[in-house]
Structure 1
Amino acid sequence: MAPERTSALPPTARERGVIAPQMLAHVVLRTAQYKRMVAWYQTVLNAQISFANQRITFMTYDGEHHRVAIANMPVVGRRAKHRAGVDHIAFTYASLGDLLETHARLKREGIDPAWCINHGPTTSLYYEDPDGGFIELQVDNFDSIEALTQWAMKGDFENNPIGTPFDPSALRARLMAGESEDVLKRRIEIGPQDGSSAPRAYFGTFIYGLVQLAKRLGVKT
């Protein structure tokens, strides 16, 4: 039997009376393309370097000492998309305007997203780093968890947990023309979607092929 849908979030660790982390502090990435990866993440995140030597670079964009660290490991290979591990790392922006301005800035730098998708809960841009890892730049589409869960309970998210593609340049033009962020963040419903709707660049050729084969065989992904 499928679990019953609910609008209630699980209780926090504090509410449960247990000790848990206060926050996710940082991520560390290994690379053989040290200078290239440092430059890419510094550009994409508009980050400042807080410490660097020949072995590791720490960078930050807020009050934390570092949010991303790049470790110089010349012996490692490029990330393999067909292996288990971290799928992507997400960074949240304060507004849709900030997200779309970031897209425009990166486009001028020659950095284009591999996937632009309104998931429903978030409006998201996925970028592939020089090692083949993905980061998600996103903005929350709802002002509260309660509003999000109420939307999810209507069934649209269950029907389409992947999302609806969008053109960030067109969305930015509409925003600059005066349309409200609330309207622009509202997901356009396009019917059932599954993993097969994600682009080849995101999965890699091998996994993308398997997902497409599964779709033809009627296997849900």
Structure 2
Amino acid sequence: MTSLSTSVSSATSASSATSSSSAFGLQGVHHVAYRCRDTKETVEFYQKALGMEFMLAISEDRVPSTKEEDPYMHVFLDAGNGNVLAFFEIPNSPPMGRDPNTPAWVQHLAFKVDSLADLMAAKTHLESLGLEVIGPTNHELFQSIYFNDPNGHRIELAANTSTPEMLQRLNQLAPQMLVDWTASKRTVHHAAWLHEKEFAQ
């Protein structure tokens, strides 16, 4: 199955080469870090729910970058294919919350699975653990399911269903969509075909 990121990269290679002014090249995401309420609970959840390997832990009294006194536990989990998911537990800080002005569906972490069959197997597994799972939702480029981890973080699992032609079309539309949205702050319908099937249900 064609990788979404690989297809986007192929479709945009020419424009990227001319628009980038960076003196260095990014080579992917090193890791993504979130806060957690309880490190042990979080590690065990991701091991059990998603089969992630617990890679390593780091704990210090001070934050290395800012030198702030704030004891923490920092854990790293293997999300597959060289991707790493990390968490901080910081017990001396105020209780964990979320931005009350941002809807719960906005901030989320999405992981890729290989196929629609794997997506449905994951849904069955997660529901067997007592988790509430939304979906599958058809985004046309991919289909997704959604659930929450013990910290309230929204997690998405996605199986790609896109074609290179779809991605090239969207890449060509993107600049004008950005211009139109910036000018109006109203829905831009150029790519509305992506969710026609979902909203027709």
The TM-score normalised by the length of structure 2 is 0.63
Is the counterpart of residue 57 in structure 1 residue 75 in structure 2? yes
Distance 2:16 2:50 in 1: 30
- CA-based RMSD: 3.5
1:117 and 1:81, CA in 2 relative to 1: closer, same or farther beyond 3 A?
farther
Distance 2:200 2:13 in 1: 30
Query: For structure 1, which segment, 20-29 or 36-45, has the greater mean C-alpha deviation from structure 2 after superposition?
Result: 36-45
Q: Percent identity?
A: 23
* Equivalence for 1:107: 127
Q: Which has a greater percent of strand?
A: 2
Aligned positions, number = 159
Distance 2:147 2:32 in 1: 16
Unmatched tracts of structure 1, length 5 or more? 1-7, 165-186, 192-221
* Equivalence for 1:26: 31
Unmatched tracts of structure 2, length 5 or more? 1-10, 60-72, 173-187
- Deviation per CA, 1:127-173: give whole Å up to 9, x if none: 1122221111001112x3323444899x9873366x47xxxxxxxxx
Higher relative contact order (CA 8 A, sep 6+): 2
| Equivalent residue in structure 2 for 1:69, among 73, 78, 86 | 86
Instruction: Indicate if the aligned counterparts of 1:56 and 1:71 stay in contact, CA closer than 8 A.
Output: yes
Equivalent position SS for 1:38: helix
Shift of 1:47: 0.3
* Equivalence for 1:79: 97
> Which AA in structure 2 matches 1:98?
D
The TM-score normalised by the length of structure 1 is 0.58
What stretches of structure 1 move > 6 A for 4+ residues in a row?
none
